[in-house]
Structure 1
Amino acid sequence: MLRLTHRTAIITGATKGMGLAITKKLAALGCDLLLTARSKEDLQKLKTILETQYAGITVQYRACDVADAAQLDGLVSWLIGMATAPDILINNVGIFKPASVLDETENDFLSQLQVNYITPHLLSRAVGRRMRENRRGHIFNISSIASREPVSSAGTYTVTKFAVRGLTHVLREELRPYHVKVTEIIPGSTLTSSWEGTNIPADRFILPADIAEAIAACLGMSEGANVEEIVIKPKYGNS
């Protein structure tokens, strides 16, 4: 059975949706956690729950709105200052704005660029440098099927996910000589809070837990195996 005892993972967007599912899964596997999300209160509650439920793990957190460049810089500095580098980085946080490139607002454009691309870029750079020094580690970028199948009604979202795809490929080649693995997880329609109020049946979606299981499966591979990408779609196609 896979155990991640004595390994540390950082997870962005850790208190909701896919991030929460990933957090719970890694905690159950014995992983120590560095969590970030916007709400300090939600992070503290989650820390208490996890450390109570899974004896032996430690949970640290930093509240951060990654849409704010100054707060993101603070998060990066916090990670750089860690005595021990994370073994696993889960770049999960993201936002979706259903607007075309021609009709979006400036805020829609800039916020999606900041959250969906600049955030994983800066975190991967900071954590990746330490993984390179240690010659071990695994970076996961949560992308989207939009990185393969453009969605014109969500133009900048699509563009940022294409950028994440490119970032993943470059990181993989840069870090391969240092035994650091890099994986892109590519979900289709996933039943998270962004679909609240929908009348679409639940079996038309994949679940956040499916993403968590995919990451655990990658972490359970042999040392010589690197899963480069996983595409997960609803069995009936995207909603």
Structure 2
Amino acid sequence: MKNALITGSTKGMGRAIAIAFANEGLNVAICSRNEKELLQFKNELLAANPGVQVFAQVADGSNKTQLRDFASAAQQQLGFIDVVVNNLGMFTPTSILDDAEDTFEKQLNTNLIPTYELYRFFGKTMAAAHKGHFFNICSVASLNPVVQAGSYSITKYALLGLTKLMRLEMQDHGVKVTAIIPGSTLTDSWKDAVVDKNTMVLPEDIASAIINIYRMSPGANVDEMIIKPAPGQL
């Protein structure tokens, strides 16, 4: 049985992706800072598909030590990690000149560095095995900067650049790397806004796209997939 590790696992896109992989028959490794939410979600996944294993560990993915401890423990518990979904992220809607002193650092530690660290942790193992798939959740802000979210845009630009570099490093080793580039998606980033869900991308749409890419033949890699709201960006 194959194994998938998902960061930012208990809410929004990460939650939908974890459910999709469990339904696909993969064991899943999930983490969250909130132990109660994490254990509740673990039970939901096991109830949805009793045939899979769910490894859950309390961890702050923006903390390098906790992130690496989670990755190591998941590998030890489940075995070879076939899929890594770098979903952890945060959105701060301020222009750069209005950023707090720690805004940029927090977003680097959440939106970019965890993907770098998990690539370094799992990349050589995947390359040696000539299999595996990294999915990095980028943003349309990776393509067109959002002035009202300057630091976020910078980190997402960097994440897309890292993804391209990962793909080039891995393509001779049979390891796939895909950038998922969502537009306005109904996650907690919009919890204080009044929106019509029928005008937005849903987390389940992102999960569906990832599963269908995962199902492709060994010789096919989706470099980038852009998923925007049908009526246009909000």
Q: What TM-score, normalized by structure 2, do the two folds share? A: 0.95
SS in 2 for 1:164: helix
In structure 2, which of residues 35, 44, 66 is the aligned counterpart of residue 40 of structure 1?
35
Q: Which runs of 5+ in 1 are unaligned?
A: 1-5
Identity of aligned residues (%): 41
SS in 2 for 1:65: coil
In structure 2, which of residues 201, 211, 218 is the aligned counterpart of residue 216 of structure 1?
211
Q: Structure 1 residues 184 and 209 mapped into 2: Cα distance closer, same or farther (>3 Å)?
A: same
Structure 1 residues 85-234: aligned runs within 5 Å: 85-234=80-229
For the 8 Å contact 1:141–1:184, the answer to whether it is kept is: yes
In structure 1, which of residues 11, 18, 39 is the aligned counterpart of residue 13 of structure 2?
18
Q: Deviations over 1:62-116 (max 9, x none)?
A: 1111233432343344356557220000000100011112220122111100010
**What letter matches 2:198 in structure 1?**
D
Q: Distance in 2 between matches of 1:192 and 1:174?
A: 32
For the 8 Å contact 1:36–1:43, the answer to whether it is kept is: yes
For the 8 Å contact 1:18–1:209, the answer to whether it is kept is: yes
**What letter matches 2:126 in structure 1?**
M
**1:67 paired residue number:** 62
Residue-pair matches, total: 234
Please report how far the alpha carbon of residue 219 of structure 1 lies from its aligned counterpart in structure 2 after TM superposition.
Answer: 0.8
Q: Distance in 1 between matches of 2:50 and 2:73?
A: 25
Please report how far the alpha carbon of residue 187 of structure 1 lies from its aligned counterpart in structure 2 after TM superposition.
Answer: 0.1
Q: What TM-score, normalized by structure 1, do the two folds share? A: 0.93
The structure 1 segments of at least 4 consecutive aligned residues displaced by more than 6 Å after TM superposition are: none
Q: Which runs of 5+ in 2 are unaligned?
A: none
**What letter matches 2:208 in structure 1?**
E
